[in-house]
Structure 1
Amino acid sequence: MDIRHLRYFKAVSDCGSFTRAAEQLHIAQPALSMAIRKLEAELELTLLHRRDRRVRLTDEGQRLYLHAQRMVQASEDAKLEMAELKGLQRGEVRVGVSSMLGSYYFPPVFMAFRQQYPQLTLSVTDAGTDRLRQLLLNGELDLAVIVDEDCPSELQAERFLSEQMLVTCGQDHPFATQHSIRSEDFFAQDLLLFKEGFFHRKVVERMARDGGFKPRISVETNLITLIKTMVSQGFGVSTLLPMVIDKTDNLITRSFAQPVWLHLSLAWRKDGYLSQANRTFADFMLGKR
């Protein structure tokens, strides 16, 4: 049995919900569900009752849970002891992220990492994807989050997040009554966008280039709150990730008629030395720890 599958099984059992367990584990819910199904298929047993978004252990699941508790704890103890033997008592992780991800995606990731590795220091740089890529190539950063399509041959990258970019408008905007938005209609609007070099802006620029459109940019800013406030008041439209939209923002989101996806990867230099601390963070981020 894969220890990760047992860890996932234990988390679902403890949380009583796939959704809460996925949030706790920082993985996508479909990936979590697939891992549990693989475990059940391997054992040829049903481990969980799934009803009304709640899950509870079957008799077989209760028996496995006792073993999973011991095995997961033993795994964590072994990793800690081996880390100490390898000198992981201290070290610095130098990682670069965008302001949007730094504000909305990474806080729980960083907190979970610090809780598991309190002896390691996190040094976080906030910049656009172009700047982060350059800092990485220059050796000023050890790890950075970049857009997949921006990965040069000198970098090794592993995808950790795919999010759909959504058209964002105010509640009284004509887009609010539509099911999806065509690119030509989006580019006919006044746009509030991030500044050049940030992944949000690069996605829009790529769409405009591919479709032969000229964006009507009314506001350029990296202040997400400003974008959301002005859009909610009818001063144009934007495109944002679902993670930054809250019910209290008074915003409407719609998919593009041809869905637009943003694929983000954690990258590092192929020929550079990646310290044990940085390898630990990379493995943690990519679900290998």
Structure 2
Amino acid sequence: MDLRKLRIFVEVARHGSFSGAARALPLAQPAVSVAVQKLEQELDLLLFHRHDRRISLTSEGKVLLQHAQRMLEDLRQAQLEMDELKGLRKGEVRIGIPSMLGTYYFPELLMAFKQRYPQLKLSVEEAGARDIQQMIDAGELDMGIIVREQLPESLEAELFLREQMVVCLPPEHPLAAQPSVSFEQFFAEPLVLFKPGYFHRAFIDRLAQQTEYPMQIEFETNLIPLIRKIVGKGFGITTFLAMVAEGDSELAARPFSEPVWLDLCIAWKRGAYLSHADRSFVEFLLEHSRV
């Protein structure tokens, strides 16, 4: 059943005449009459009683009118929603963010994005890089934050942040008196680390493998405040992104003797369709990139 013919049929019924429908559409009156006749032929039903100067719906026409109005309203609502998504008046961004970035980098950014697009819904999942990747692959997240070195073939990404990894230790620690800390010195200390699955831990594991120094892991936790407290009390040392230690009087931050930088990306499933809301978030993130 042709939607164009249904739309014409509804207008004829609403105006009670072919001429009135023709003015409203606007179409030539013969085109309106032909469209209704073709619809009647397709259905093999008479939809209008035709009088000298007026028309009225048949019982069959009244039944069709109810269905046609509902169909056209559903179509209008669908088109409106698509237009709203395109215009970023509605929509949702589902993103996975590691806890370190979720705490120290993204809060102000997310609020600024929300201020620009107040009708968009932000759904943020805190998780490690491994879980974020799995959730993107499973369609549970649209996007996530991944370290570029850990980016799998199944994802494509845009770089938005380059940040240095620094050694964090108590201010009174002997290594805090040095301008930098060597890998050998770092791995000689008891370590406080994230659990496997987080980019922080993957970075340390990879560094230990590359340098072939053994690790002395004293504490494992994904709770950043707990890690800070343990390190601040002198029970071990750790590494954080430099932004985490900025302005913290209870922690001393020193770069590695061979500076280490992490490239962080916004990633999504390769070949997947990104909604207008998702693309706008990516564009917004790149506007505020620090690379």
Structure 2-normalised TM-score?
0.68
| Aligned counterparts of 2:113 and 2:135: Cα–Cα separation in 1 | 23
Contact 2:193 2:217 in 1 (8 A): yes
Give the residue type in structure 2 aligned to 1:236.
Answer: G
Give the residue type in structure 2 aligned to 1:222.
Answer: N
| Aligned counterparts of 2:288 and 2:256: Cα–Cα separation in 1 | 34
Equivalences for residues 40-189 of structure 1 within 5 A: 86-189=86-189
| Aligned counterparts of 2:242 and 2:187: Cα–Cα separation in 1 | 20
Displaced runs of 4 or more, over 4 A: none
Does the C-alpha gap of structure 1 residues 85 and 104 become closer, same or farther in structure 2, counting only changes over 3 Å?
closer
Q: Deviations over 1:169-210 (max 9, x none)?
A: 111111011111110110010000111110111111111000
Contact 2:245 2:252 in 1 (8 A): no
CA drift at 1:248: 4.3
Q: Deviations over 1:58-87 (max 9, x none)?
A: xxxxxxxxxxxxxxxxxxxxxxxxx85834
Corresponding residue for residue 24 of structure 1: none
- Count of matched residue pairs: 207
* 1:257 and 2:247 correspond: no
Contact 1:228 1:249 in 2 (8 A): no
Equivalences for residues 24-35 of structure 1 within 5 A: none
Contact 2:168 2:245 in 1 (8 A): no
CA drift at 1:109: 0.6
Q: Greater shift after overlay, 86-95 or 103-112?
A: 86-95
Does the C-alpha gap of structure 1 residues 224 and 130 become closer, same or farther in structure 2, counting only changes over 3 Å?
same
CA drift at 1:152: 1.6
| Aligned counterparts of 1:278 and 1:162: Cα–Cα separation in 2 | 22
Report % sequence identity: 49
Unaligned runs of 5+ in 1: 1-82
Corresponding residue for residue 12 of structure 1: none
Equivalences for residues 183-198 of structure 1 within 5 A: 183-198=183-198
Q: Greater shift after overlay, 210-219 or 239-248?
A: 239-248
What is the DSSP-based 3-state SS (H/G/I as helix, E as strand, rest coil) of the residue aligned with 1:286?
helix
Unaligned runs of 5+ in 2: 1-82
Contact 2:85 2:91 in 1 (8 A): no
| Aligned counterparts of 1:94 and 1:213: Cα–Cα separation in 2 | 39
Contact 2:183 2:256 in 1 (8 A): yes
CA drift at 1:249: 3.8
Which structure is larger by alpha-carbon Rg, 1 or 2? Answer: 2
| Aligned counterparts of 2:210 and 2:85: Cα–Cα separation in 1 | 53
Give the residue type in structure 2 aligned to 1:180.
Answer: S
Q: Greater shift after overlay, 175-184 or 243-252?
A: 243-252
Structure 1-normalised TM-score?
0.69
CA drift at 1:288: 8.4
| Aligned counterparts of 1:286 and 1:182: Cα–Cα separation in 2 | 33
Give the residue type in structure 2 aligned to 1:148.
Answer: R
Contact 1:142 1:268 in 2 (8 A): yes
Give the residue type in structure 1 aligned to 2:185.
Answer: D
Q: Deviations over 1:258-284 (max 9, x none)?
A: 111111000011221211111111111
Contact 2:147 2:264 in 1 (8 A): yes
Corresponding residue for residue 283 of structure 2: 283
Contact 1:229 1:249 in 2 (8 A): no
Give the residue type in structure 2 aligned to 1:105.
Answer: Y
Does the C-alpha gap of structure 1 residues 247 and 284 become closer, same or farther in structure 2, counting only changes over 3 Å?
closer
| Aligned counterparts of 2:230 and 2:92: Cα–Cα separation in 1 | 39
Give the residue type in structure 2 aligned to 1:185.
Answer: Q
How large is the Cα RMSD of the aligned pairs?
1.7
Q: Deviations over 1:131-180 (max 9, x none)?
A: 10111111111110001011122211111011111011111111011111
